[in-house]
Amino acid sequence: MRILEVKGLKKYFPVKIGLNKTAYVKAIDNIDFFVNEKETLGLVGESGSGKSTTGMAILRLLEPTSGEILFNGKNITKIKQREMQKHRKDMQIVFQDPFASLNPRWKIGKTIGEALEIHKIAKGKDKQRRIDELLDIVGLPSESKNRFPHEFSGGQRQRIGIARALAVNPKFIVCDEPVSALDVSVQAQIINLLNDLKEEFGLSYLFIAHDLGVVRQICDRLAVMYLGKIVEIASTEDIFLKPKHPYTKALLSAVPVADPLAKREEIILSGEMPNPISPPTGCGFRTRCHMATDLCVDSRPNLEQIDNDHQVACHYSDKIGGRKNVEIFAAQTT
């Protein structure tokens, strides 16, 4: 069963050009995807591709320009904020920066307990008992509630952010690059924690990241995003072993392999991501793609299913082979 379904979602930001002209940054440009119950969908791509904006728009922390967001079958796109607050119990977020997302003037107990009061879940001794329980769940001592954010390490602060998200017993959590600011050893701890919480509480995640080594460890399916559009969606294994979009294949070729003697296909993308104010005609990736032809200039490829649950937006996906040395890579990331 699908817990979240996104249809034709767009988010455009107005930008003044000169005195009287307004252009629009197309941060999200007509995307469709879904998340099943108890599933982790990874959303990957370069910085500026629209990943974090997508997560914010789904939770309506940013209001979408158009499109539909169905949560548990209900369209929450246009409902009023008072009604939306009821759904916020089931939809939470873990932010990228574990320090900036915490109020430096508040002790941790107040930070975690705020949601319990707003949603009238617990107060008084019951609230304190719930705060202690949440801290224990994320691996922190109950005394932590009497300390300020600056007294914790980055990994501990992210555990606090996770505890805050869990406070209202959500069903779905947006994880917005939750380990990108952490050391590698701490990243592994947080990933293991998120996996354990998913199993224990039956959670669903939208896991936003740019590190493909991380998403391999936690995601059931992956959606690859480029210039505000999703260009490929498939199971994690299919994405890693049988990529069908040249951008996906380029991202995978950049992932380091531990074996220095391994010969791998190396794809170096030329240039920078185009300006989202004036994206290229046709395929948005054509300006950096070695396979681009006149068809790519004239026609924008749609996201189409090519095999089972594998979808790709490329005119020449049938000409893209699997990755070389996949056995070496699979062994390294398993």
Tell me the pLDDT tens digit for each residue of 44-61: 999 889 999 999 999 999
Task: Give the pLDDT band of residue 308 (cuts 50, 70, 90).
Answer: confident
* In-domain check, residue 147: no
Which pLDDT value is given to residue 318?
87
* In-domain check, residue 329: yes
Pick the range with the lowest mean pLDDT from 1-15, 204-218, 219-233, 252-266: 252-266
* In-domain check, residue 117: no
Which pLDDT value is given to residue 334?
45
Q: What percent of the chain is modeled with pLDDT above 70?
A: 94
* In-domain check, residue 131: no
Write out the residue range of the structural domain in which residue 36 sits. 2-90+170-333
* In-domain check, residue 278: yes
Does residue 225 register a pLDDT over 50? yes
- Segment 107-115 mean pLDDT: 95
* In-domain check, residue 197: yes
Which pLDDT value is given to residue 327?
44
Which pLDDT value is given to residue 139?
94
- Segment 317-332 mean pLDDT: 59
Does residue 174 register a pLDDT over 90? yes
Which amino acid is located at 78 in the chain? K
Which pLDDT value is given to residue 253?
85
* In-domain check, residue 177: yes
- Segment 5-28 mean pLDDT: 92
Looking at residue 228, which CATH number applies to its domain?
3.40.50.300
Give how many domains the chain has, as a whole number.
1
* In-domain check, residue 159: no
Which pLDDT value is given to residue 332?
46
pTM: 0.91
Which pLDDT value is given to residue 184?
84
Q: Mean pLDDT in the chain?
A: 90
